[in-house]
Amino acid sequence: MRMAGAGFGLASLKARRAAGAKSNPGALPDTGAISGHDAAAGLGATATAEARGPQMPLTFLRSGDAACVAKVRGRGEVHHHLENLGFVEGAPVRVVSEQGGNLIVEVKGAQVALDRTVASKIITAAA
């Protein structure tokens, strides 16, 4: 049952679990952990994203700036290729060089050249 105005953050998840435990005394106690189902549904992801701070495309960073990958936008071959290069959630990245929006980025010990359109698909957060 979904209530109007009910949020889907970590706090509301815990509140819903606590309310469920009161109405069902035989329920398992709340451990505070988010189940795989809840994580897949995006519950609790808000708290993680907010803890990292503001997010911006990799193209906004300048030479010498460092950040962590928050997510890779898009689908298909480019998305898959970027993940294979090491642009996965949480990976630290550092801009080695920037010229005209095109970047040379260090990720997982390797330097990768990215054009502006591909780099804009990589969303970063403060390291």
- pLDDT tier, 6 (very low <50, low <70, confident <90, very high otherwise): very low
Distance CA 68, CA 30 (A): 31
**Structure confidence by residue, pLDDT tens digits, 68-125:** 999 999 889 999 999 999 999 999 999 999 998 899 999 999 999 999 999 999 999 9
Contact 124, 69 (CB under 8 A): yes
Please give the structure tokens belonging to residue 102: 């095109």
The confidence score (pLDDT) of residue 53 equals: 79
Where in the chain are the domains? 10-51, 53-126
Neighbours of 112 (CB within 10 A): 18
The confidence score (pLDDT) of residue 101 equals: 84
29 CB-side CA count, 13 A: 1
Instruction: Tell me if the pTM is above 0.75.
Output: no
Residue (of 78, 77, 85) closest to 69 by Cα position: 85
Task: Fold for 53-126, please state it.
Answer: SH3 type barrels. (2.30.30)
